[in-house]
Every structure is written in structure tokens, then in C-alpha cells.
Chains A and B, each alone.
Chain A
Amino acid sequence: MRIEHFDIDFTLIPSNVPTWLARVDAHQWRTACFQVRQHGGRLVSLWGADARETGLVIYAALAIPTGLAVLRLNATDNSYPDISEIFPAANRMQRAAFDLFGIKANDARDQRKWLRHASWPENRFPLRKEFPINSTYPTESDHYAFVAVEGEGVHEIPVGPVHAGTIEPGHFRFSIIGERVLRLEERLGYKHKGIEKRFETMDLNQGAKLAGRVSGDSTVGYAWAYAMATESASATIVPPRAAWLRGLLLERERIANHLGDLGFLGNDAGLAFGLAQFSILKENLLRTNYALFQHRYLMDTIIPGGVTRDIAEADAEIIQTEIDQVRETVIRMREIYDEHAGLQDRFMGAGQVLPETAARLGLCGLAGRASGQAWDLRVQFPCEPYDTLDVAMATQNSGDVAARVNVRFDEVMESLRLCECILDRLPYGDIATPLLLAPEHAFGLGWVEGWRGEILIALQVGKNNAIERLHPHDPSWQNWPLIEYAIIDNIVPDFPLINKSFNLSYSGQDL
């Protein structure tokens, strides 16, 4: 089948979102990427795979107006044409693909390592099939060539990976003059745990638990994307009630995370009152989660084929009462935030990513919508239950911290409405169905709008529903590099606030 603007043959993959797969050659690989770029599309993910008999392959998932186009290229001589010139977001993904598979992007300007921190030798590639899962290597000393900024009065501040507070590890190298930031360079990968390798020892049902732990704060998003991928590979149809409950869980996760972030954004600007109020709201939500779904963060509630917890009429009333309370408080808190001159002074103009920069570099998800990038899977490619809920997308154009705060406020309000609609119209029936047997080598794909942005899970099935290869993709891959842009010309003490306004995942990126 052909898609408009492309001269490549695509096969439609059965999935809840419109997805096509095409095998391409090196020339088509670059041309297709270029055409997508020309028509306003963007790169969603890039990952490698070891296809044993055919050698190593590289995949690229591209968002196009009609859905998701996945390109598959055989990496002859363990290399493939670079696409980071077309999509700057590909840079780190290509470097990670080299660290894990040893497939090189030819002519890419940046060939430094990305996920490898001298925990395994340079010439060994952990995601190749011949690499034993339990191998250990002595840690070597690590060297990474940061870009040096020179000039009179310029100096560097290295921050992390160990921080003064209890946060995830990441290294930030600031080149500053006085308090002004000339350049920030990130070094991530400290949380590399080998999740992708671990998946390859599991079958489709076992993998759900691990998928829900790729990035803890997005457990529902990941679990749903994973379930969607397994269901797409095995052509399992989920009962409607399960699909609607998944929607409820995902929106509750979005609300909880947005509330937490709004509190911390106030706190990072020195307004502890904001944190206290939003923490109460979030905590109440988590306690209700525990009471109704047996887990505060809703882990393991979504499984391939459905969900594990149903809600009764009485539970629905509890949720409804809570929605009313949260809505009332959030409206009042928004007034306080909007009218607090000191807070607005910190928020406005800080960490600005202009829409043009966002479009060029592929900013996505919540941060993207705050910079005028109108992408929201729930609106553009709505699967059940979103197809009948008429989701309103929250966008802002100023691209600063204030914009990201406003998008969060808008999305909380919209998610509260969605939860109400779901409770009103929740269909009756089963909440799970057994997963069917997927054909060997079946390709499955899950694409879900998590609270941070779009989570993609690409799955290749082996024999008897075993996982042959699974790649979980976090929106943080695209958005981390944008923080380096957002901070330019801001002052050093504003960095924590700007960083928080993006609130990206370390674990989801480091894998």
C-alpha cells in the first residue's frame, strides 16, 4: 500500500493507531526521512535490532499526518546513512544504537558514546544476540569529550551525577560567564540497567511487569503502550470496558503527575505554599488509587489483553467526589499562581523554547505543546476510548516556564473532564481477555500519549509469544536536548526551575 508523498510500499500493521511498516534500502531511508521532514512530520524513535540471519537492522519511526510510518533498513557492513542532519533528535538515538549494537550512522558529525559509561568494553555490544545476558566487565575509567567553550571570564560548573537533593543522576556541564549560561551540555546514561536485554528473556505476558517499570512515574503509559504492542502483534481484541478503564487510569496518572509538578514548580521558585497544597491533592489521589486499584502509582493494573482491576458503582462515586474536590482546589490554586507577581516573574520568559526551535529540533509531548507543537495522540490518532471523548488539546505559544505551567493546568482540567466522561459512559462487560498466540516474527507497536509525551513500544515476537526484541521509547529522548537550548542566556540559578518545567525521565532514557 502506498502513502501520499512516498514512493515506498508500506504494510499496514494491525494496531489501535494507524501504523505502517516498510523495508527500505539505504537510499529510500534518507529520502523517506527527508520527505517526512518536508511535510511537517518528525522522528518519533530510532532503534536497532539483531535479526540473527539477516544481520543487524535499524528502525526509524516517523510521525506523519496520517499516522506512524516505521522504516526498517538492513545495516549492511554494520552501518546506515545518518539522519541526524534531517532530524537533530536522531543524534543521541544513533549514538545509543552504536553503543548497544555496534551499528554506525555513516557521516554523522557526533560519534561520541552515549549510553556506555565504560561498564562494558568499547568493542562489545550488549544487545547483540551473542552477548551473554549475565556477562560482567570490570569498570574502566570513563572519558567523555565535552565541548569546551573558551574566552575571557568563561568557566565551567560541573553538576551531578550526585546532587544535593534526592533526585535521579544526570551530569550537567555549564559553561558560564558570571551567572549567564553560555552553553549547557548534558551527559546521561548513569541509570542504564539493561532493560531491553532483560525483555528478551521474557514472554509477552511476563514483560508487562517490566514495561511498567521502565520509568516509574509513567507506569500506566508504558504498561498501556506495551499491552497495545502485544495486542497488535497477536491481533487480540481488548474488551471495551478494559479499554475505557485504561483511559481512566492514564488520565489519573496524568493528573497526579501534573499536580506534583505544579507544586514543585512553585517550590522551586521559593513558594513552599504551592508545594504543600498540591502535595495534599496528589497524596489524596494516590491514596484513592491504592484503595481502588491496590497500587498508589497504578503499577500492574494494565496487562496484555485488558486490565486487572474493575471498579464498582460505589468506586465510581468516590472518584466523582474526588474529581469535584480536585477541580475546585485547582481552580483556586491557579488563581493564586496567576496573581502571584513574584511567581509569575520567575515563570515568564524563563527557559524559552521558541516554536521554530521546537519544530526544528522535534520537541514533543507536554513541553512541545507549550512551544506551539500541536501533537497529542489522544486528539490526532485517538484510540478507544478517546475516539468518542473529543479531547481538547492544550497548547501555548510562548514556550517558557509559564507556558509549561499553563499547559499543565489546562491538561489537569481536561483530564478531570475526561475521567468524568469515562465514568459516565463506562461500558459493561469483561475487563480482560487472554492474549492470543502471535505468529513468529510478528511486529507489534504501541503508541500512547503519556503525561510527559508519547511513549512508543516496538515489539518483535519470537517463537511461542517470546519477546525477540522490544524497544521502549520515552519522549525524554527528544526533549532532553531542548533543555540545552532552553537554558542558553538564562542565569544559572534558574536552571532547576527550567529543568523541572520539563521534568524529563532519566530512567526512560537511560534504559
Chain B
Amino acid sequence: MNTLVSGILFQVLQSVLMVLLAPLLLGWVNQCRAWLQNKKGAGIFQPYRTLRKLFNKDAILANNATVFFQRMPYVLFACMWLAVGIVPVLATGLPFSPAADVIALVGIFALARVFQALAAMDIGTAFGGLGARREMLIGFLAEPAMLMTLFTASLISQSTSLVTIVDNFAHHPFAIYPSMAFAAAAFVMVMLAENARIPIDNPVTHLELTMIHEAMILEYSARHLALIEWATSLKLTTYICIGIAIFLPFGIAKAGDWMALPLAIVALLAKLAAAGAGLALLEMVSAKIRIFRAPEFLSTAFLLATLGMLTHFLLEV
């Protein structure tokens, strides 16, 4: 009983913390990008200001928008919040975790994606359809690569449950897994594609013809847009957290271990900051690739993940 209560507390703490921290991570990435461009930047709190501004505006809906279009931001936000609740970032043994393993996690992302694409086509603008089409192309290539990456990690810990995977890596004697190096490279590539970052998509572009993610949400305003923006930052945070949980789980607390919590929080913040800076650097040195190179990019990710699995069977079993 006691473990359940503390587990629930950990769960609530992590979910609230992540939802509040997500815009900060985006602000940090943008700030790093600005520094790398010799610019001052808007500061790491800019995403919060943007959210406040958007929440204070009146929403405008297209005349022919159906309930799909109106509800999508809420579904998207809920999906992303749920996803970030499943990933063990502060502690293992969260009560939510048994509800979903890595396959279900990929499914939650797919659900959000389908809703977004349908909503984009709902009002019938040219850009909505264009963006939805491109998003589905990216998604359909990214998901298998993502699954393969997670399977490599699952093979080592003999479980598709994220908690077991993380527990296995974090709280057992340190071991070097060559297969995880391949999986990590594949994961970074999938993360860039899934979060509409350079080289697949450009999150700061104003060129409507080149957009993927942005093209789908061009018609949203005010609170709807705010929720989408927030969900986008949550998605980025979730992905980085999955990466941290699987590849750098060190410092994570066990459920109910309140003494380990401060260290876990500090370790998490340091890891997020490093990952954000790394993302900004990666984006700054790359150009955006042509959309028809995206399949090559993601097949490379898939190939790397597969190599990771093969390496596991060759070297680690």
C-alpha cells in the first residue's frame, strides 16, 4: 500500500514537472540556436510568454471546421501528456508504466499523428492536405525505425516494458552494449524526424510550401494553437526523455526512494540541458534535406536499428 501511494506521488510529481518544464526545454534549444548564430536570443522563458499570449487571445475557427478540427488540440495535448507520464524519467516503478509498454507508447504517438492529419484535412485548405500528406510519409517511415530501436533495448532486458528496460540499465552493474550504440544513432535520427527538426523539417520557417508540421496547424489560433505548441514541446521532451531513459538512465531513482529524488531531478535537468544543446548544435550544422531524401534518412535509421539487433545476437548473447 505504501509503495502504491508513494508511486502515485512520484507519478503526479513527474507528470506535473514535465508538463511545466517542456516549454523551458524548447526555450533552451531556441536559446542555444540563437547563441550559435551569434544572436542574443529571446531568452529561455520565451515559450511561456508565447503560451500566455496565445491563451489570452480569441480563437478563430474556419466556418466549415468540424468537431475534429476543434478537438484535435485537446487530443494531441492529452496524448503527449500521457506519453510523458509513461516514460520513467525521475523514478522507475511508476503506476502508469504497466499500463503501456514501448509498443503502446509508439501507438500513442501514432494516435496523435492520425488526429492531427485528419484535423489538417478537415477544413480543406491546400496547405493542410499538403502537410498531412508529408507528415504521414514521415510517420510511416519513422515508426518502424523507432520500434526497432526500442526492440534492441528490449532484447537486452528481455522486456518491452520501459520500466524494466530502465531498471535493468540503471540499477545493474555497468556493462557496455555495442548494440545500444547503433540503437542510439538510429534513435537520434528518428527523434529529429518525429519532432519536425532540421534536417527533416524546419520549425522556424515562414515558407509555407516547405512546411511539414507547421503546414498542418496553419489555421489554428489562440488557445488551440497554444495547446498544440505546448504539446509539440511535450513531444520533444518525451522523446528526449525516452532517449535519456534508455541510453543514459544513470541517476534515476527507484520508486519510493525519496532520498534519491533530489539527485534524480538534478541529473535529469543536466541531461535535458545537454541534450537540448546537442540538438541545437546538430541543427545548426545541418541543412534541411529535400523531402524525398527523408525516406533515405529514415531507412538509414531503420538499418542502424536493425544492425543494433544483429549486433546484440552476434556479440551479446
Residues of A bordering B, CB below 8 Å = 156-159, 163-166, 179, 266, 268-273, 275-277, 280, 340, 342-343, 345-346, 491-496
Contacts and interface: CB of A to CB of B under 8 A. Distances in A.
B126 A158 contact: yes
B104 interface: no
B19 interface: no
5 contacts: A270-B198, A342-B289, A345-B287, A492-B130, A493-B209
Given A273-B36, A273-B37, A343 B287 contact: yes
Closest 4 A/B residue pairs (Cβ): A270-B288, A165-B206, A342-B287, A276-B37
A493 B210 contact: yes
B257 interface: no
Contact of B33 (A272, A277, A345): A272
Contacts of B127: 157
A165 B207 CA distance: 7
Contacts of B209: 157, 159, 492-493, 495-496
- Interface SS majority for chain A: helix
Contacts of B38: 276-277, 280
A375 B38 CA distance: 39
Contact of B210 (A158, A276, A280, A496): A496
Contact of B208 (A164, A273, A345): A164
B259 interface: no
Given A342-B287, A345-B287, A492-B130, 5 more contacts: A179-B292, A270-B202, A346-B289, A491-B291, A493-B210
Contacts of B204: 272
B199 interface: yes
Contact of A269 (B134, B208, B287): B287
B126 A345 contact: no
Contacts of B285: 273
B286 interface: yes
A335 to B, nearest CB: 15
A164 B218 contact: yes
Contacts, number: 81
Interface of B: 33, 36-39, 126-127, 130, 134, 198-199, 202, 204-211, 218, 283-293
A379 B290 CA distance: 38
Nearest to A158: B126
B207 to A, nearest CB: 4
Contacts of B283: 272
Nearest to A494: B290
A36 B129 CA distance: 48
Nearest to B38: A276
B109 to A, nearest CB: 24
B199 A268 contact: no
The residue among B33, B209, B283 with the most chain A CB atoms within 10 A of its own CB is B209
A270 B286 contact: yes
Given A157-B130, A491-B291, A492-B130, A273 B284 contact: yes
Nearest to B287: A342
B37 A272 contact: yes
Contacts of A493: 209-210, 290-291
A270 B291 CA distance: 12
Contacts of A272: 33, 37, 204, 283-284
Given A276-B37, A492-B209, A340 B287 contact: yes
Given A270-B198, A342-B199, A163 B208 contact: yes
Contacts of A280: 38
A174 B206 CA distance: 18
Contact of B207 (A157, A268, A345, A491): A268
A346 B292 contact: no
B129 to A, nearest CB: 8
A495 B283 CA distance: 22
A285 B38 CA distance: 18
A249 to B, nearest CB: 29
A156 B288 CA distance: 25
B39 A269 contact: no
A346 B284 contact: no
Contacts of A159: 126, 208-209
B284 A269 contact: no
Contacts of B39: 276
A494 B37 CA distance: 24
A487 B39 CA distance: 34
A127 B285 CA distance: 53
A342 B126 contact: no
Contacts of B130: 157, 492
A493 B127 CA distance: 12
B288 A164 contact: no
A491 B292 contact: yes
Nearest to B210: A493
Contacts of A345: 287, 289-290, 293
A502 B106 CA distance: 43
A272 B287 CA distance: 8
Contacts of A165: 206-207
Nearest to A280: B38
A279 to B, nearest CB: 9
B203 to A, nearest CB: 10
A252 to B, nearest CB: 23
A494 B274 CA distance: 33
A492 B129 CA distance: 13
Contacts of B37: 272-273, 275-276
Given A346-B287, A491-B292, A270 B208 contact: no
